[in-house]
Amino acid sequence: MGILLTESAAAEAGAGVGMGMVSMIYIVVIFGAFYFFMFRPQKKEQKKIAVMLSALEIGDCVLTTSGFYGIIIDITDDTVIVEFGNNKNCRIPMKKSAITEVDKPEPVESRKEGKK
């Protein structure tokens, strides 16, 4: 009788190991889904913003995080000086990270061709 109990206990233990493996696979799949739906798109967005900020040039029209539009008049390593409005005295230095959108000015030649 002791042998039968031992064999049945061994069968139950084997089934428990199999269930543990299935649970481990579910956990790995859930973490994989989190990576592809949350972390990966965020990294893509960060790369896109880094490319946008590295392509800044003097004369670009920018939108800041506070909602103001301005024109870049000077660029340093991590800051820019932005001129706001028609008043030439309103020049504010700010970090590049405060820029959310960049609008490149249209070349003069393409404006003339569009009017023809």
For residue 84, give its domain range.
57-105
The answer to whether position 110 is within a domain reads no
Cβ atoms of 51 and 93 closer than 8 Å: no
Co-location of 48 and 80 in the same domain: no
pLDDT tens digits for range 1-51: 445 445 555 555 555 556 788 889 999 999 988 888 888 888 999 999 999
The number of distinct structural domains making up the chain is 2
Q: What does the pLDDT read at residue 9?
A: 54
pLDDT tens digits for range 77-114: 899 999 998 877 889 999 999 999 998 877 766 656 65
Q: How far apart, in whole angstroms, are the C-alpha atoms of residue 27 and residue 19?
A: 13
Co-location of 50 and 1 in the same domain: yes
Please list the residues that pair with 82 across neighbouring strands: 72, 92
Q: What does the pLDDT read at residue 46?
A: 92
Query: Which one, of 72, 68, 64, 67, lies nearest residue 105 by Cα?
Result: 72
Please list the residues that pair with 63 across neighbouring strands: 69, 101
Co-location of 34 and 78 in the same domain: no
The answer to whether position 7 is within a domain reads yes
Co-location of 24 and 50 in the same domain: yes
Co-location of 17 and 45 in the same domain: yes
Q: What does the pLDDT read at residue 4?
A: 47
Query: DSSP letters along 37-70, please?
Result: IIIHHHHHHHHHHHHHHHT--TT-EEEETTS-EE
Q: What does the pLDDT read at residue 38?
A: 86
Helix (H, G, I), strand (E, B) or coil at 116: coil
Q: What is the pTM of this model?
A: 0.60
Q: What does the pLDDT read at residue 72?
A: 93
Q: How far apart, in whole angstroms, are the C-alpha atoms of residue 51 and residue 75?
A: 15
